[in-house]
Amino acid sequence: MADISKVRAKIEELRRLIRRHDYLYYVLDRPEVSDAEYDKLYQELKRLEEAHPDLITPDSPTQRVGGQPVEGFAQVQHKVAMLSLDNAYSADEVREFEARIKRALPGERFTYVAEAKVDGLSVALLYEQGRLVRGATRGDGRTGEDVTLNLMKVRSIPHRLDGPLAKFNVLEVRGEVFMWRQGFERLKRKLEEEGEEPFANPRNAAAGPVRPKDPQITAARPLDIFVYGVSHAEPDPFTSHYQAMHQLHESGFRIHSKGEKNMLERYRRRCGDIEAAIEACREVEEARDKLGCDCDGVVLKVDSIEQERRLGSTTHHPRWAIAYKFPAQQATTIIKKIEISVGRTGALTPTAELEPVEIAGATISRATLHNADEIERLDVREGDTVLIERAGDVIPHILQVVTEKRRPRTKPFSFPNRCPVCGAEAFRPEGEVVSRCTNSACPARLKQSLLHFGSRRAMDIEHLGDAVVEQLVDRSLVKEFADLYGLDVKTLADLERLAEKSATNLSRAIQGSKRQGLGRLLFALGIRYVGEHVAAILAQHYGSMDRLEKAPEEELAEIYGIGPRIAQSVALYFRQPENRRQIEQLRKAGVKMREEGVTAGPRPLAGKIFVLTGGLEGFSRDEAKELIVRQGGRVTSSVSKKTDYVVVGKDPGSKDDDAKRLGVPTLDEAAFKKLIGKA
């Protein structure tokens, strides 16, 4: 038997680590280890405590659910605790689970429901008489945070239930808010386009936005919910878990997966006995990569609610459910080299080039290292043996270095403080994780900028691919965007691997792109935080580059959908003489600087502040906003003395009363139409 003081020290160490990871995961939404790694720590602690029960203390992470609510949101006490789940890692452990419940309820038969264990953020939604009155996070399982406003922005969370559950006095629904991988990839591209830092994986991307102070951020994320339980119901007619879930779907909780009719069948199914349940686990595991979301296991639940009640829960988990966890998709391999690439915004991004290795059928030869901090945290060095993990289609990442296998005399990787391409100084602003090349004429940045400029959703220049851009920059034929428009067919045909015909096509595509209009042009310029959507708003609002260039920062910030951060970035961009000069060159080259269909004429609503309440018949909320903004007005969310008009539609909320109280004029739909010239 090991020296007891050593065991004690080990236990303390594990507890300390687990608490730290709990804090990172639940409170900061910035986990540093994979769930598999965390589970390993947890299991090891549990094993040690089981062997030395006298060392168990009430504050051990094994004795509670983990996490503390962050300050700032109102706290919510969960009437029914949001517990963890007990885990099984093999078919035999699942069978042991059944043996346990059979001992607890001798002679009874059990049927099961097998559900995907979707990896996101768990929430509790409280409905009263069918209306969503509160949404809360899990927090530490007993106390969570009130994030009602944010959850209301998740499209698939109904504000009102319809169907069988609408009349219930009280109904508390539990579910997992998550992001589809497709949506995650789209979001990632969008953030990159805007020069923002993308998230490492869908879980982080989903967990963060449930809790920002600004519900608009939640709204902008493609979030969905997978409901998995009813924790409280008045009246309480449910006899089967499966039936309860079915009714929830009937009442408005719908999975928003496009075109997949029997999607739900994949995520939740009934199993007649434990062997059928084990088979379901295997099937979901096999389909794991095709599920479209992050799923790290299958939860098996006893279907009979009445049996569930009699089985009850421990302080940590319900006894009537078990999570079958998939084996991690991990492997070890060697880092051949750490490569630094330079992006459009100058961001220096490290990638590990690996000795190719197979994980679950895919050959992996690269892994992301995110940034300098990550390299330092892991202390990865070239030549190291590392443990890597693959989750879904996202590029694999490194979990840890296998230090026992480290070769002698290796040095820590020193992150370059100069751009690896042009040699200019790399700058990392205080508080940011990314360092960037400071040379605006850096060839690497220029190449990426040109590729972005010509990309499909920007200026849409077909045939302007990597190989062409590479040569154009290396041969100094293009030093800025406008140079593209001076290229003739002959020059292009001189490029390697570009035949006469392709040169003609490319030239035609370049010249054709001049007519794209202001919106696409703004996006193409690659101004920080100006993605496709923001570019379109600016183009709609100003109609021409001239007017946008002159717009003061305060005015930009007032535009609906812009906000102070984007306004600052846009204003800063147009203050740089170099940027203005480049735009002037584009203008001279004949690039269109206007947006079609936007009147540059007088803006009759300039300076007027609107509040909208209730539903309009002729337009959606967004269309109404758009019309107001286009004519120079703006829309705010609450009525104050500064409000000029409150537009009152059908079933208006309290804003109508606010307007009357403050003496703000109200407009019905007809009057509104007249004002905006649509009557």
**Positions marked catalytic:** 117
Tallying the residues shown for the chain, one arrives at 679
CB of 427 to Zn ion, least distance (A): 11
By CB under 6 A, residue 37 contacts ligand AMP: no
Task: List binders of ligand AMP among 307-326 (CB under 6 A).
Answer: 323
Q: How far apart are CA 214 and CA 288, in angstroms?
A: 33
Indicate which single residue of 84, 137, 345, 400 sits in contact with ligand AMP (rule: CB under 6 A).
84
Select from Zn ion, ligand AMP, none the partner in contact with residue 419, using the beta carbon and a kind-dependent cut-off of 5 to 8 Å: Zn ion
What is the C-alpha end-to-end distance of the chain, expressed in Å? 88
Whole-angstrom CA distances from 429 to 84, 347, 446, 454 are 40, 12, 22, 29
84 binds, among Zn ion, ligand AMP, none (CB under 5 to 8 A by kind): ligand AMP
Residue 137 touching ligand AMP (CB under 6 A)? no
- Per partner kind, with CB cut-offs from 5 to 8 A, the member of Zn ion, ligand AMP, none near residue 399 is none
- Strand partners of residue 341: 349
Residue showing the smallest CB distance to ligand AMP in the complex: 122
**CB contact at 8 A, 344 and 531:** no
Buried b (16+ CB within 10 A) or exposed e, 482-518: bbbbebeeeebbebeebeeeebebbbebbeebeebbb
Q: Please name which of 301, 368, 376 lies closest in space to residue 340, comparing C-alpha atoms.
A: 368
Q: Does 145 bind ligand AMP (CB under 6 A)?
A: no
Kindly tell me which of 240 and 440 has the beta carbon lying closer to ligand AMP. 240
Peptide bond before residue 53 is cis, with ω within 30 degrees of 0 = no
Q: Which stretch binds ligand AMP (CB under 6 A): 22-30, 80-88, 189-197, 337-345?
A: 80-88
The helix (run of H) or strand (run of E) holding residue 611 is strand 609-613
Residue ranges in 87-126 that form contacts with ligand AMP under rule CB under 6 A: 115, 117-118, 122
CB count, 10 Å around CB of 302?
26
Q: How far is the CB of 439 from Zn ion (least distance, A)?
A: 5
Q: What is the largest CA-CA distance in the chain?
A: 88
In whole angstroms, how close is the CB of 424 to Zn ion at the nearest point?
5
Q: State the binding partner of 437 from Zn ion, ligand AMP, none, CB within 5 to 8 A by kind.
A: Zn ion
Q: Are 22 and 33 in contact (CB under 8 A)?
A: no
What residues does 366 pair with on adjacent strands?
A: 353
Nearer to ligand AMP, 116 or 364 (CB): 116
Decide: is 294 part of the binding site for ligand AMP (CB under 6 A).
no
Question: Which residue number, 323 or 646, has a Cβ lying nearer to ligand AMP?
Answer: 323
Q: Which does 60 bind (CB under 5 to 8 A by kind): Zn ion, ligand AMP, none?
A: none
Q: What is the DSSP string of 421-441?
A: TT-PBEE--TT-S--EE--TT
- Residue (85 or 451) nearer to ligand AMP, CB: 85
Q: Compute CA distances 612 → 451, 486, 652, 666, whole Å.
A: 41, 49, 9, 10
Show the site string, 160-189: x = touches ligand AMP by CB under 6 A, - = not.
----------------x-------------
* Contacted entry of ligand AMP, Zn ion, none for residue 118, CB cut-off 5 to 8 Å set by kind: ligand AMP
Is 224 a binding residue for ligand AMP by CB under 6 A? The answer is: no
Residue 282 or 479 with smaller CB distance to Zn ion: 479
With CB under 5 to 8 Å by kind, the binding choice for 224 among ligand AMP, Zn ion, none is none
Q: Does 293 bind ligand AMP (CB under 6 A)?
A: no
Please give the residue ranges that form the binding site for ligand AMP (CB under 6 A): 82, 84-85, 115, 117-118, 122, 138, 176, 228, 299, 323
